Structure 1
Amino acid sequence: MAIADASPVKTTCPYCGVGCGVLAKADAGGVVEVRGDPDHPANFGRLCSKGSALAETTGLDGRLLYPEIDGRRAPWDEALDLVAGRFSETVRIHGPDSVALYVSGQLLTEDYYVANKLMKGFIGSANIDTNSRLCMASSVAGHRRAFGADTVPGTYADLEQADLIVLVGSNLAWCHPVLYQRIAAAREKRPDMRVVVIDPRRTMTADSADLHLPVRADGDVALFAGLLAYLADQGALDAAYIERHTTGFDAALAAARAFGRMEIANRTGIRPADLDRFYRLFAQTPKVVTVYSQGVNQSAAGTDKVNAIINCHLATGRIGKPGAGPFSVTGQPNAMGGREVGGMANMLAAHMELGNPLHRERVQRFWKAPAIADKPGLKAVDLFRAVADGRVKALWIMATNPVDSMPDADQVRAALADCPFVVVSDVLAATDTGHYADVRLPAAAWGEKDGTVTNSERRISRQRPFLPLPGEARPDWWIVAEVARRMGFRSAFSYAGPAAIFAEHAALSAYDNNGARDFDIGAHAAIGTAEYDALTPFQWPAPAARETKTAQQAKAPGDIRFFAGGGFFTPDRKARFIAIAAQAETWPQDASALILNTGRVRDHWHTMTRTGKSPRLSQHLAEPFVEIHPHDAARHGIGDADIVRVATPRGAILVRALVTRRQAPGSIFVPIHWTDQFASNARVGVLVAPATDPHSGQPALKHSRATVTRFPAQWYGFAVLRHKPDGIPADYWSLARCEAGWRVELAFAGDRDWAGLARGLFAASPEAETLVYHDEALGRHRFACFEGRRLAAALYLARDAVAVSRSWAVEQLAADCPDQPTRFSVIAGRPVAGASDRGATVCSCFGVGVNQIAAAVGAGCTTVAAVGERLQAGTNCGSCRAEIRGIIDAHRLQAAE
C-alpha cells in the first residue's frame, strides 16, 4: 500500500486492553502523526503516555526485514518450506503433541484464529498457548466456573455510573490510564463517588483513593470471604437473585465464615477498622464495580480470588446492571480476541469447550478438519517444561519474548537452546528469544497490521494499516496460512485477506448457537472486504437477525450487559457460587526473606520491544529498580540509589534501589520490562519459580521469596552517547534511548582503565576533540568528545552517585556546542549560568521535568490544575497527576518548615 498523505486512518492502540481508538497518518516523507480518536467509544480521544508516543516507535531501526535461517538471509519460500517440512516430519515421527505454538495477545484476532485452526484442527494437537496465560487465564477460569462461559458482564460505562469503584490488584493510573481518567472525570461530576484501592503497594492509583487497603500478597481470598460473610450478617444480600439465578450459595457462605475475623486480619494484614470501613461501604452502596487485574490473576490462588470477588457480586445481585458488576481488565490489546478464538491450550474456538465432545465435533465439522484435538494441550509453564525434557521437539513462537517474560526464565532460555527446531516470528531482529531461533520470520508491526482486536469490554475494533510493509515483512496470518498450505492443508487456508478470516470466525461463532453460547458475532458472518474495511467498533454479542427468544437476544437494543436477569451459560442457566477454602499461609517466616512482587511501570510495555524505541518514554524511569521500604533498606544496609542484588533460589539480578514508603515493609517490587537488550542483568523472570494456579495454569508472578544485598560498587558512571554502544564492559549497566542518542547508567566493583573505557564507548572519529577532567582526590573522572559543533559522547565517573543532571546531559546531545565555555559546561555536568535544567521527567506526554513543576509551584501554582494550565503537565493521560501532587505537597512542607 502507498503511504497515506491525507486523511488519518482510524486504527487501534497496540498496548493495554482498554482498546483506545487512534487516528494515525504518515506523510510522504514517512513522518508519522498519532492522536486519539474522539469518536472511539473506548477513549473518546484520550490517549495515555504510551499511546501518545506511538509515532516514535514506528521507525525501521532494529527491524527484522527478511527471513533468516541459521542467521543468514533466506527467501520466503525456503524459510516456509523448512518450517512446514520440519513440523510435518516431527508430527509424522513423534506425533502431533511433539510440536507446539506459543503465541501472543499482540496478535490480531485473524492471526490468532488461523494459528489456532492449524494447530487444533489440522495438526490435531492443542499444544497452542499464549502469553495471555501469564495475564488473564485466572479470569477465564473464574468466569467459566461461575458463569459457565468466559463472559465479562459489564462495560466501561459502568465505571462512570458506579457509586463505588473497588480496584483490586490494579494500578489503573499507570497500567490503564484512560480508564483511570474516565473514572476521574466521573468523580468530578459526582463528588460522592468513592474509590477503594486494594494493593500491597501504595501506587499512584492509591493516591487518589478514598481508602487504600495494603493487602498482603495473596490475602485477597480472605478479604472477600470476609466481605461475603459480612454481607450475609448485615442483611445486604439479594435473596431473590440468589434463589432465582444461582446455586451453591450456602456452601460458599459456610466456607467464607470458616475464615474468622482474626484470621482475615492476619492474612490480609489490614487493620480491622479499615476492613470494617470497606465492608460497610460495599454493603451500603448498591452500585459497585469491582475492577481487578494482574494483582488478582498472577497468583497460585488467582482463580479462587476471581471467584471470591464474583461471589460477592452474585450474592448482592450486583451484576450486569448499570454501574454494578465484577470487571476484569485485560493487560494486552487482544487478550480478549485470543480468548474468543480459543487461543489457549484448554479452549476451543468461539468459546466452545475442548472437553465437550459435542463442541469438538461441531468445530471439526465447521472447519472440515481432518482431526480435532481431543484433550487440553500444554499450558505455558508446562509447555516450556516439555521443550526442556524433549517432549516438544519443534516450537513456533509468535510476537512474544518468553526468555524474558516467563517465570524460571533461565530454564526457558536453556530449553530453547536445546530444542531441535525453534521458529520465531517477530518484528525486531534482536530479542533475547530470537537469539535461539533456527528460523526467524519478519512479521508486520503496528502501523502495518490489518485486522481486529477485542478490548476488555468486549468491543471489537479494527486495527488498520497506515504504513507499507517494510522489506519482506508479512502479516502473521499470512505466514501461518502459507505454512499450513505447505503442510498439505491448502484448501482450508486459502484466505484472500483478513476480511475472509474474520467472516469465517464470525460464522463459527453463530454455528449451531441459537443463544446457547455467549460469544456470537454472526451478524458479520457474510462480511465482505468493503464492509470489513469500513467496520466501526461494536460490542458482542452481535447475533444475526433471527427468530429467537433467548434472554440475551430479547434485550433492548444497545443493552449488551450480561446476567442482570440471569441467563448464565451453565446447563441449568444458573450461576455457580464457588466455596473457597483457606489455603496454607505462604508469608515467609525467614526474617531475611522478602516478598517479591513484579509488575509494570507507567511508560514501558512488556519487554520494551516497542516502548524502548521511544526517547520520551525511556526518560521517566530509565533503569531497572527495586522498590524497598526504608525499614527493610536499613536492615539490609541499602541506601537510596545503591545497586542491589535481588536473589531467589533460581537466580539473581542487579537493579537500582528506590527506597520508598510506598512499598510495604517486608515486600519489594521489581518491574518486568528490562531485558538483556537494555540492562546487564535485570530479567526479573529469572527470579520467579514456575508455580501456577491449579485451575488456570497461570504463574504466580507476584509472590516469590527473595533476599536483597547491596552490590559492592566502588565506582559509578553515567554516559550520554550519540551512537548505541556495541558492548558495555561494566558490572552493572542500563541503557535507555534519548532524543539524540542513548543514556547509560554504570557501576563497577573495582578500578578500570577509565580512558580505555571512554574510548570503547565513544568509538569516536580521529578528528574528534576530547576533553578530559581528573580529580584523583575526590575520585572523579570525566570525558567529553565533540565532533564538529556537536557533542558525540560524554562519560562521568565517581566514587559515589554521579552528580550530573541526567535530563540536562541528555539534551546536550542535540545542542550546539560551538565554544569552550559551552564544552566546559558539559565536562562540569551542569548548565552555564542562566541556562535551564528541566530535571527528571515527570510528564512524559509533554516532556515536563520536576524542576519545571517545582518552579511553577514556587510561582504560585498550588494545584495540579494550575500546574497543568501553565505547563500542560498532567493534562493528557493524567497518569502523572499524583506525582505532580506530591511535588506540590513537598513544596508546602518545605515552606512550612
Structure 2
Amino acid sequence: MAQAFQKTTCPYCGVGCGVNMVLPSADKDPVPPVSGDERHPANFGRLCVKGSSLSQTLMDHDRLLTPSIQGHSTSWDEALDTISDKITQVVKDHGPDAFAFYLSGQILTEDYYVANKLAKGFIGTANVDTNSRLCMASAVVAYKRAFGSDTVPCCYEDLECCDLLIMVGSNAAWTHPVLYQRIAAAKQKRPHMKVVVIDPRQTATCDIADLHLAIKPGSDAAIFSYLLCHSDSAGVVDQAFMADSTSGFDEALKCAYAATPSASFTADFCGVPLEDLTCLTDWWADTDKTVTFYSQGINQSSSGVDKCNAIINCHLATGRVGKEGAGPFSITGQPNAMGGREVGGLANQLAAHMDFATPGAQDLVQRFWQAPNMASENGLKAVDLFQAMEAGKVKVVWIMSTNPMVSLPDTAQVRRALEKCELVIVSDCKNNTDTTAMADILLPATGWSEKNGTVTNSERCISRQRGLLPAPGEARHDWWAICEVAKRLGFHSAFSYQGAHDIFVEHAALSAFENSGKRDFDIGHFQSMTQAEYDALLPVQWPVPKGQPAGTKRMFADGQFFTADRKARFIPITPVLPQHVSNKEWPFVLNTGRVRDQWHTMTRTGNAASLARHTNQPYVEIHPRDVKALGLQDQGLARLVSPHGQAILRVKTSRATSPGQVFAPIHWTQAFANQSVISNLIPQVVDPLSGQPESKHAVIRLEAIHNPMFGSILSTQALDLSAFLYWCRIPSEHGFYYEVALSSAAEVEQAIRNLKQQTGLSEYWMEYQNPLSGQSRMACLQENQLVLLLYWHDQPQQLSLDWLVSKLAPDCQVEEQERLAILAGSLAQAEDKGEIICSCFQVGSKQIQQAVAEGASSVAELGARLKCGTNCGSCVPELKPFMPIQVEKSA
C-alpha cells in the first residue's frame, strides 16, 4: 500500500520552511523522517537539523491529553463552563479589562484571529498580547513610524542578490540556519558580495563575514546614526527619492550629527577599531544594493524602536528601499509572529494591520464584526500585563502555547503574578512545563502535525500548516476552544465556524473591507475561496488584493508609503546605551541567545535526544581572562547573580565573548535543569514605545563554586534530585540521563541513600572505585537489566554514555561480560565519537580529527567521508577550525 505524501510547514523559526511528511501506514506506527519541500520558496527543499528531526518530537510522553481543573481530570464541557462563568463574573464585577489572553507566535493565524475577535470585539478588552512581544514588537513600531504601516519591504531573494549585507543583532547561522545557508551559497557564487556582522560576540554567523564589528553591547544605533551622517558627507544621499517619497530628513540628520559627530567619536562610543568602522562606511557609500538584516540583538532593547529607525533612516536617505537587493529587513523569530501581527495579536493593534490610533479603524472593525462591545484603547503589553496581574487588576488570564515562566523577564515577578491571578487557564500540548505548573485549568491543545491553518513567514509569505495526524486523547484546536467559550458567553452566531477555512476567509474579507489600497495588508483575493481551494493553498506573499492572485515580492517599489501624505518619515534618533550598566557590584554584562539545535523552552526539541548531543547542558560562556581571574574551571560550575535572581551553569571558556561580557542560552527550564532559567536574571526593563523587554542585557556578578562533586546518573525512572546543588536532565532515547553536582564529596553517601530510598533499590548493587582517580561507580541490576547507574568524579568531564543509555531500553539484557565494562567505564562496545559537531549525521570531533589525520583537507572532503555539513550546513562554521590553517576561508 502506497504511503500518503503531504506538505506542511516547519513549526520553528520565522524562515517558514516547507516540509514533506509521509504519513505512517498504521495508527500506531512511528512517523517516518520528514524532508524539505523542494517547491517551497522559503527553503527549496532544505531543512535545518531541528526541522529534519521533527518526526522524533512526535511523542506521547508527557502529552496533555485531558482537561483538568485544579489538577483533577474533567470533561471539556465542565472546563469550558467554568471558564465562561468566571469570565462573566469578573467582567460584571470588575470590567472587561479584568480578562486577558497571552498568546504565542506558535499558534496559527486562525487561532489568533478568533482570540482577538472575542476579546476586542465581544468581551471589550484589548488585553490580547503574545510572546511575539518579546521578539519583534520594536520592529513593528519602527516600521509604522517610518512607513505608516507594519510592512517588511524585503524578500529573501534580496539577501541573495545584494552586494552588501549588514547582519546586526542576528546569529542567523544558528537561529535561521536555512536562510543563512542561502546567504552563504549566494556569497560563494558572487565573490564580490560583502557581509558585515555587527555583534558583541564572535558567533557562527561570522564565518562568512568579511568584517565583524564586535561592538559594545547595546551601542548598535550609533553605527547607523553615523552611517546617516556619512551618507550625507559622502554625497550618496538620494535627493530625488527623498524629495518625492520622504519627509523629516533635515531634523533626523541634525540629530545624527549631534549624536555621532565623527568617525573617531562613534568608534570610541561603540568600542570598535576606527579602521573597521571606516571600512564599513566606505562599503556603505560605494554599494547601492545593500540589505540590513536585523533581529533580537536590535529589538530586545530598552531603545529597540530607535535602533530599528536608525537603520531605516539610512535606507531612506540613500533610496535603498523598494528595490531589488536593498532594504531594512527585520527577521522574525517564530513561525507565525507575522501572522499574529496581521490579525491584531498585539495589545496595541485591532486587526488586519489596523490599530486604535488609525482614524476610523475602530468603527470599521466594529461594523465588519458587528461587535457589541468594541475595545476603544490599547491593552496591556506583556510585561505590563503580568504586573497588572500581580496588582490584582487582571483576574483571569488565558495562556496559549507559550511558557512565560521561562521566557518573560524577572521570573520571580511572573510567578507572583500567576499566583495572585484568580483563574489561570493554560492551553498546551505538554503536561509538565514551568507554566502549566501554575495553571488552575489545563486544556489539551493540538500541536504541529495536528493543527490546521495558516502561518506567515518573515517575507510575508502565507503557507498552509496542515493537520495530518489525528489529535491524541481529547486534544482540541485552540480556535475551537475559544469559540466554545464565546458561545457560552452568548456570542454564538459570531463564532459558529465549522473549521479553520471559515475563519481564514473571514480574515481575508476583513483585510479587504473598505480598503481600496489604503492599507498595506490586503488578501481579499481569498475571501471567497472554497474549502478545497484552502486545502490546496500554495505559498503566496501578501498583499493579494481581490482579482490579483500573484503576491508582491517587494514593497514600496513605487515610492509610495502608507502615511497620510504617502511619504516615509525620517525619525530623529539619539543613540543610548542599555539602561543598566556594569559597575563594581555587578561587573559583568550578560548577553542571552539561542543554541544551534534547541528551540525556545525545549517543549518540542527536548523530545529528540539527537538534538541534545551538540549542547547537552546549559552553560555560561566566559572569556579565558575572566575564567582565570575568578578561579573558575572550564566545564566546572559558576553561580550567576543579578539584582533579580540567580542561576548555576556550566562554565564554557571561549574567546568569542569579550572580557567583562558573558553569554548564556535561554532554553533550559525547571523541567530540564534546576537552576538554569536565565530570565531569573533579567530585569523588567522595556522599550517605552514597543513594550519589548531588554531581554538580551543584564548586569551580573560571577561566583566560583569550589570543589563540587560531579556525577552522572542513568535511571529507568524519573528521579527527585531537589537535594542536589545542580542537576540537568539530558534527553535520551531510553530512561533518564542526568548530569549532577553536589556541594562536596561529603554529600555523596547521603545522596546515594536518598536515591536508593526513592527507587526502592537496596540490593543487587555492584560497586567499583578507582584508587588512582578517585572515581567511584555503582550500578544496580535486576534480572540482568540495568535500572540505575551512578558515576562520581571530582573533576568536570564529559563522558560518552550512549552505550550505557542503550542498556536502559526495556527488555535489554546486560551480558555477563558487559558488567565489568559498566563499572570500569571501559566502553569499547561503542565508538567514542567525541563532542558531536554535526547533529544531522551525529558526527563527533574525534571522527573529524581522524578524517583530517587521514588526509581530509577541506570541509567538502569531510562531507564526502563523514556526511557532516552536507544536510543543513549549520555545522560548517564549526567544521572549518578542524582544517589545516592554510585552507582558505571559503573552503
Same fold judged by TM-score > 0.5?
A: yes
Per-residue CA deviation, residues 113-153 of structure 1 (Å, 9 max, x unaligned), is 00000000001110110000000000000100000000000
Runs (4+) off by over 6 Å? 761-768, 890-893
CA contact (8 A) 1:805 1:829 kept: no
- Where 1:609 maps in the other structure, the secondary structure is coil
> Are positions 1:774 and 2:769 aligned together?
yes
* Alpha-carbon separation, structure 2, partners of 1:196 and 1:378: 37
Q: What residue in structure 1 maps to residue 15 of structure 2? A: 18
2:861 counterpart of 1:866? yes
CA contact (8 A) 1:854 1:888 kept: no
CA contact (8 A) 1:651 1:686 kept: yes
CA distance in 2, matches of 1:423, 1:791: 41
What is the CA–CA distance in structure 2 between the aligned matches of 1:803 and 1:513, rounded to whole Å?
61
Q: Give the 5 Å matches for 1:308-319.
A: 308-319=310-321
Matches within 5 A, 1:664-813: 664-750=658-744, 751-754=746-749, 757=752, 760=755, 769-775=764-770, 778-788=773-783, 790-802=785-797, 804-807=799-802, 809-810=804-805, 813=808
Distance 1:664 1:526, change over 3 A: same
Is the Cα–Cα contact under 8 Å of residues 586 and 642 in structure 2 kept in the other structure?
no
Q: Whole-Å Cα distance in 2 between the matches of residues 479 and 342 of structure 1?
A: 19
Secondary structure, counterpart of 2:799 in structure 1? coil
Aligned-pair CA distance for 1:753:
4.5
- In structure 2, the partner of 1:549 is none
CA change 1:467–1:835 in 2 (3 A) is closer
The answer (yes or no) to whether the contact 1:809–1:829 under 8 Å persists in 2 is: no
Distance 1:700 1:13 in 2: 28
2:476 is the counterpart of 1:483: no
SS at 1:616 equivalent = helix
Mean CA deviation greater in 182-191 or 375-384: 182-191
- The number of equivalent residue pairs is 880
Equivalent position of 1:505 in the other structure: 507
Paired with 2:363 and 2:780, the residues of 1 have a C-alpha distance of 70
For residues 418-464 of structure 1, give each alpha carbon's deviation from its aligned partner in whole angstroms, at most 9, with x where no partner exists: 21111111111111111111111000011100000000000000000
1:792-830 Cα shifts (integer Å, max 9, x gaps):
332211122246334555455469764444222222223
What letter is aligned with 1:75? S
Q: Tell me, yes or no, if the aligned pair for 2:858 and 2:887 is still in contact at 8 Å.
A: no
Query: 734-743 vs 650-659, which deviates more?
Result: 734-743
Aligned partner of residue 468 in structure 1, secondary structure? coil
Which of 465, 472, 480 lines up with 2:474 in the alignment?
472
> Aligned equivalents of 1:812 and 1:459: distance in 2?
46
Residue ranges of structure 2 left out of the alignment (5+ in a row) = none
Amino acid aligned to 2:195: V
Give distance in 2, aligned partners of 1:672 and 1:766. 36
After TM superposition, the structure 1 = structure 2 runs for residues 87-102 of structure 1, keeping only pairs within 5 Å, are 87-102=87-102
Task: State the 1:755 CA deviation.
Answer: 7.6
Give runs of aligned pairs for residues 345-356 of structure 1, distance below 5 A.
345-356=347-358
Give the equivalent residue in structure 2 for 1:112. Answer: 112
Partner of residue 825, structure 1: 821
20-29 or 361-370, which moves further after superposition? 20-29
Distance in structure 2 (CA, Å) of the matches to 1:836 and 1:775: 23
Cα 1:887–1:793 change in 2 (3 A) is farther
Which position in structure 2 is the counterpart of 1:146?
146
C-alpha displacement of 1:841: 1.2
- Inter-partner Cα distance in structure 2 for 1:266 and 1:761: 60
CA–CA separation in structure 1 for the residues paired with 2:757 and 2:802: 20
User: In 2, distance between residues paired with 1:519 and 1:559?
Assistant: 11
Paired residue for 2:635, among 622, 636, 641? 641
Please report how far the alpha carbon of residue 775 of structure 1 lies from its aligned counterpart in structure 2 after TM superposition: 4.2
Give the superposition deviation at 1:636.
Answer: 1.8
Give per-residue Cα distances to partners, 1:833-887, cap 9 Å, x unaligned. x852111211111111111111111111111111111111111111111111122
Please report how far the alpha carbon of residue 559 of structure 1 lies from its aligned counterpart in structure 2 after TM superposition. Answer: 4.3
CA contact (8 A) 1:716 1:797 kept: yes
TM-score (norm 1): 0.95
Q: Select between 650-659 and 723-732 the one with higher mean Cα deviation.
A: 723-732
- The structure 1 residue matched to 2:648, chosen from 610, 629, 654, is 654
Counterpart among 400, 404, 407 of residue 398 in structure 1: 400
2:622 partner amino acid:
I
| CA distance, structure 2, for counterparts of residue 854 and residue 126 of structure 1 | 57
Shifted more, 24-33 versus 305-314: the winner is: 24-33
Q: Distance in 2 between matches of 1:296 and 1:578?
A: 16
Question: Is the Cα contact below 8 Å between 1:197 and 1:205 reproduced in 2?
Answer: yes
Give CA-to-partner distance per residue, 1:354-407, whole Å, 9 cap, x none. Answer: 123500000000000002111100000000000001010111111111111100
Does residue 38 (structure 1) correspond to residue 38 (structure 2)? The answer is: yes
Contact 2:544 2:552 in 1 (8 A): no
Map of 1:550 onto structure 2: none
- Equivalent residue runs for 1:88-487 within 5 Å: 88-258=88-258, 259-261=260-262, 262-487=264-489
Q: What are the Cα deviations for residues 670-697 of structure 1, in whole angstroms up to 9, with x where unaligned?
A: 1111110000111111111000001100
Cα distance, 1:763 vs. partner?
Answer: 6.5
Q: Does the CA contact (< 8 Å) of 1:461 and 1:537 recur in 2?
A: yes
What secondary structure, in the 3-state scheme, does the structure 2 residue paired with 1:350 have? coil
SS in 2 for 1:55: helix
Question: Partner amino acid for 1:863?
Answer: S
1:539 to 535, 538, 541: 541
Rounded to whole Å, the distance in 1 between the matches of 2:885 and 2:801 is 22
Unaligned runs of 5+ in 1: 547-552
Q: Secondary structure of 2:650's partner?
A: strand
The residue that corresponds to 1:883 in the other structure is: 878
Distance 1:607 1:447 in 2: 19
CA contact (8 A) 1:246 1:575 kept: yes
Structure 1 781/754 Cα, relative in aligned 2: closer, same or farther at 3 Å? farther
Are the equivalent residues in 2 in contact too, given 1:808–1:830 (CA < 8 A)?
Answer: no
Q: From the superposition, tell whether residues 687 and 755 of structure 1 become closer, same or farther in structure 2 (CA, over 3 Å).
A: closer
Contact kept, 8 Å, 1:644 with 1:710, in 2: the verdict is yes
Q: Per-residue displacement from partner, 1:231-282 (whole Å, max 9, x unpaired)?
A: 1111111111111100011111111111223431222111110000111112
Q: Is the 8 A contact 1:308 1:580 kept in 2?
A: yes
Which deviates more from structure 2 when the two are superposed, residues 663-672 or residues 589-598? Answer: 589-598
Offset from partner CA, 1:478-518 (integer Å, 9 cap, x none): 00000000011100000010000000000000000000000
**Match of residue 573 from structure 2:** 580
**Range moving further from structure 2, 577-586 or 395-404:** 577-586
**Deviating more after overlay: 755-764 vs 349-358:** 755-764
Q: Would the aligned equivalents of 1:84 and 1:483 in 2 still touch at CA under 8 Å?
A: yes
Q: Report sequence identity in percent.
A: 50
Task: Give yes or no for contact 2:623–2:653 (8 Å, CA) kept in 1.
Answer: yes
Structure 1 counterpart SS, 2:515: coil
Q: Which moved more, 1:479-488 or 1:782-791?
A: 782-791
1:891 and 1:210 map into 2 onto residues whose CA distance is 18
Q: Give CA deviations for 1:588-621 in whole Å, capped at 9, x if unaligned.
A: 2437511111111111111111011110011111
Change (3 A) 1:244 1:473: same
Secondary structure class of the residue paired with 1:396: strand
Contact 2:672 2:728 in 1 (8 A): yes
CA contact (8 A) 1:499 1:529 kept: yes
Q: Matched residues in 1 for 2:797 and 2:623: separation?
A: 23
Aligned counterparts of 2:190 and 2:681: Cα–Cα separation in 1: 44
- Distance 1:761-1:126 versus aligned 2 partners, 3 A rule: farther
Q: Is the 8 A contact 1:597 1:670 kept in 2?
A: yes
